[in-house]
Structures are given as structure tokens and as C-alpha cells.
Amino acid sequence: MKICVFLGPTMPVEAARAILPDAVYLPPVAQADVVSALHIHRPDVLALIDGVFGQSLAVWHKEILFALHEGVTVFGASSMGALRAVECAEYGMIGVGEVVRQYTDGTLTEDDEVALAHAGPEDGFMPLSEPMVNLRASFRAAQDAGVIDAALHDRLVAAAKRLYFPERARDRIWAEAGLTDAETERLEGFLATGYVDLKRRDAETLLHHLRDLALRGVTALPPRVPFDFNRTHFFEVLYERDRRAVHGGHEVPLSSIANHAALHRADFAEINAAALGRVLSLQLAELVGVTVDAAAVTEETRRFCWRRGITSAEALAGWQRRNDLTEAEFSGLMMELAVERAMRHWLIARRFMARTTRPVLNELRVRGLYEAVAEDAALAERVAELHFADFSRQPAVEMDRLVLDHIEQTDGRMDAHYTAWAYEAGFKDANDLRIDLVKARQVRDLFRRLADEAEAALREGETVP
């Protein structure tokens, strides 16, 4: 049973791994992380503990429902996992722990009860503020131990609740509650050993439960609650554009692979036209009632494999993995190719926010270009992330200059004014194109500087007697 755990400030990964050593540990869950994990790791179980919601979009209920509908068992506890477990319980998500119980019975009603500020991955997501659920449990324990009375307990809870969640540090709470020095000393002394980390307890409970399942030899869990999953347009946007894949050791959104192809492939106009033509064929076929049977799809698959020298099921499965397709998605692509043999030209406006990402990526796959473009895109994305993370500090450059520089220094081509080309190529608008042009220029300039420095060093070495 393969398990993926989304974990961050609730407890260190090392401590979690000591309980459940064979799980795949991922950072706090954000939007698109669940569908990405399903594709990259192919898990049987997802365990959601921590998640983000301020600096990034929070994990969407729809992608959790998608995972459940695909037969993946999804657990939630402690933090974002507890919130989503309560909200998605009727569809089969399983909540574990005291925090889930308190949200279920209405003791807790607000999201900020589990929220806290924390450091980034480089610092192990170290907590920088106190979650309200832990404070409530700790103040209750202090009252039960006789360290504080009921009145002071209520003052402390009210003071903590008045503070915005990132400001819930102990000194701020003590000041907000008006604690005396003696009260502060007594309370701090108790919390040194009596602090109740409710979120961590729940996380450990979930991890122990999953470990016990593994020890019992459970390889899969029974499906939870059957329901119809509606693949809405906005879910398709998430699945087609925001879902990530791994190439060259780096994760990259599918939309970035398509955008990279748009900017760097000399033959992108043909790729884009073919991609949109294929989807248009499907739309027109639906309107006029043109269909294909299983034999036609089988023949299309045979032709496809023959052109690429794919001679075995193992080789085909490997191609599908490298091109980020499930077996079902590959079968869908073969259906598209079969339908294309009968129809073709408008599409972009109809696809709305999904734009051209999926058709472009499929055309790259069909032409055998996807793997190289994906690795280039993933590398460029990683370099930009490492060296040019603060986009706001980059100098302003005229759009015309950006476009001309890109055309002069790359194989990318634009066969219309950039405002029209951006729309046709799958960018949201010219400003969206500008962002990618600036990023491409930064990465290109960095590589050029490194190459020049290497060449200068070689020349200097040749002149040494």
C-alpha cells in the first residue's frame, strides 16, 4: 500500500518517518498538489495533515473528490486535513483525531483555530505562531492543574482569539490578556512540560493508524462512498494546466511545458495548429454525429506504435509514463487520432480558461517532442525559481524589445502581433506572455554569462605556460 503524507509545521518529517517510514512525505498541501501527487506517485492512500491557504491557493475540495472517485483512500487530521475531512466526509474522506471531532460536533467552527504562521521548507516549516486549538487545550490543562483559575482561562482564550492567527505568539497573548509577572511565570512554567500539542497528537494518531494497516499486510482499502464525479470546466483547468509532472528531477506544471514549447519550438505554429485542429475535429464530430468503433481505435493505436518503434506492452507503458499519460488518457488520445481521420478549426474561445495546454501537450507527445520540451521547461522553471524568485525587482523592459530579443536569440517565432499571438498560443493575455518572456530572458542571460565565464577561464588556461 503506497501512502503519500502532506506534512509541514505540525511535526517534523523525521519524527513522522520514525512512525511511518515507508510513506512518501510531501510539503503542506496546496491547490493542484493532490492531482499532481496522484499522477507522480500513484498512491493508494493520501494523508492530508498540513496545508497552505494564504500564500497559495488552498487544496480544492474537487481534487479530493477526484482522488476518492479514482479509488484512492483519503485521510485527514490535525490542520487543513481536519478541515477538509469534515467538509468531504459524506463523500468518503476519513477524519482522524480530536480536532476532527471538535469540528464535527460544532465545538470548533472557524478555520483560524488550526491556522498558524510557519517558516519555509528550508527551515523545516518551523512554526512561528501558536495554533488556537493547541492554546485552548493547553489553557484547559493549566486550569485543570490549578495553575490558572477559570476567569484567567477565559481571559487567555479571548485574548488569543482576538489576535490575528500569525500574531498568536505567547508574549503577544500574555500582553493582550494583561497577565502579571507572577501569572506569566506560573503559566510559562506549566507550559514547559504541560503544553498540549493537540495537532501533533492527531497527526501521530493518523500515522500510527496507517502504520498498523501496513503491519497487518493491508495493500488496499475498500472503496468508501460511491458518487458521480462531475468534471467541470474549472476542474479540467486544474487538471490540464496546473497538475505537475517530474522531468529531469524537477517538478513542472503541464501549462509551463506547453508555454515553453510556444516560446522555444521553431515548429510551434504547426504544433499549435495541429493540436487545435484535433480538438476541433472532436467537437465537430460530436455535432454531426461522427463516431469511431473499437476496431478503428485499435488500428490507430497500432499505427501510432509502429511509427515510434513501440513493439511491446512494456515499451508502450514506458512511453506513457515518460509522456505523463495514464493508460486511460493514452486510450483517449488514440480515440482522438481516430476521430481526426474524418474532421477540423475554431476552438480557443470555446475552451475558455483551459486554453491550449492539453491539446499542445498532446501534439508534443504525438510528435515525440514532449520529453525534451518538458525537461527544458522543468530546468528553466527551477533556474528561475532559484535565481529570479523576486520578479518585482526585475528591471522594466519594453514588450517590443522582449519580443524582438526572444525572436533573435531563440528558435521561437511569432507569426502575428504578440497580443494576438499570445491568445492563439495559449497565454491568458499579453501580460501573461510578458511574464514568461522576462523569465525566459533571465534564464537565457544567466546561461550565456556562465558560458562566457567558462570560455574565458578556458582561454586563460591555454595561455598559461
Please tell me the predicted confidence (pLDDT) of residue 463.
61
Please tell me the predicted confidence (pLDDT) of residue 389.
72
Over residues 351-367, mean pLDDT: 87
CA distances (Å), origin 326, targets 41, 189, 282, 322, 378: 12, 56, 20, 10, 20
Q: Using the predicted structure, report yes or no on whether residue 428 has a pLDDT greater than 50.
A: yes
For residues 313-326, one letter each, b for 16 or more C-beta atoms within 10 angstroms of the residue's C-beta and e for the rest, the string is eeebeebbeebbbe
Q: Using the predicted structure, report yes or no on whether residue 276 has a pLDDT greater than 70.
A: yes
| Highest-scoring range by mean pLDDT, 269-283, 346-360, 385-399 | 269-283
**Cβ proximity of 207 and 20 under 8 Å:** yes
**Cβ proximity of 77 and 205 under 8 Å:** yes
Of residues 421 and 197, the one with the higher pLDDT is: 197
Please tell me the predicted confidence (pLDDT) of residue 423.
83
- The per-residue pLDDT for range 238-264, each reduced to its tens digit, is 999 999 999 999 999 999 999 999 999
Reported confidence tier of residue 333, pLDDT bands at 50, 70, 90: very high
Reported confidence tier of residue 346, pLDDT bands at 50, 70, 90: very low
Over residues 159-171, mean pLDDT: 95
CA distances (Å), origin 157, targets 107, 140, 148, 206, 325: 14, 9, 12, 27, 51
Other beta carbons within 10 angstroms of residue 358's beta carbon come to: 22
51-55, 156-160, 461-465, range with the lowest pLDDT: 461-465
Say what the pTM is. 0.79
Please tell me the predicted confidence (pLDDT) of residue 348.
65
Q: How many residues does the chain have?
A: 465
> Which residues make beta-bridge pairs with 48?
6, 76
Of residues 34 and 222, the one with the higher pLDDT is: 34
Over residues 443-460, mean pLDDT: 86
Please tell me the predicted confidence (pLDDT) of residue 351.
72
Please tell me the predicted confidence (pLDDT) of residue 391.
58
Which amino acid does the sequence have at 411? D
Reported confidence tier of residue 424, pLDDT bands at 50, 70, 90: confident
Please tell me the predicted confidence (pLDDT) of residue 343.
61
**Cβ proximity of 428 and 397 under 8 Å:** no
Please tell me the predicted confidence (pLDDT) of residue 347.
52
Please tell me the predicted confidence (pLDDT) of residue 387.
83
Reported confidence tier of residue 31, pLDDT bands at 50, 70, 90: very high
Please tell me the predicted confidence (pLDDT) of residue 345.
34
Q: What is the mean pLDDT of the chain?
A: 91
DSSP, collapsed to helix, strand or coil, labels residue 422 as helix
Reported confidence tier of residue 310, pLDDT bands at 50, 70, 90: very high
Reported confidence tier of residue 235, pLDDT bands at 50, 70, 90: very high
Over residues 113-142, mean pLDDT: 93
Task: List, in order, residues 6 or more apart from 160 with CB less than 8 Å away.
Answer: 130, 132, 135, 168, 173, 176, 177
Q: Using the predicted structure, report yes or no on whether residue 350 has a pLDDT greater than 70.
A: no
Please tell me the predicted confidence (pLDDT) of residue 456.
85
Please tell me the predicted confidence (pLDDT) of residue 27.
96
Q: Using the predicted structure, report yes or no on whether residue 392 has a pLDDT greater than 90.
A: no
- The per-residue pLDDT for range 187-233, each reduced to its tens digit, is 999 999 999 999 999 999 999 999 999 888 777 777 677 899 999 99
Please tell me the predicted confidence (pLDDT) of residue 426.
85
CA distances (Å), origin 387, targets 121, 145, 165, 320, 378: 17, 52, 31, 32, 14
Instruction: Give first-to-last CA distance, the chain, whole Å.
Output: 63
Please tell me the predicted confidence (pLDDT) of residue 344.
40
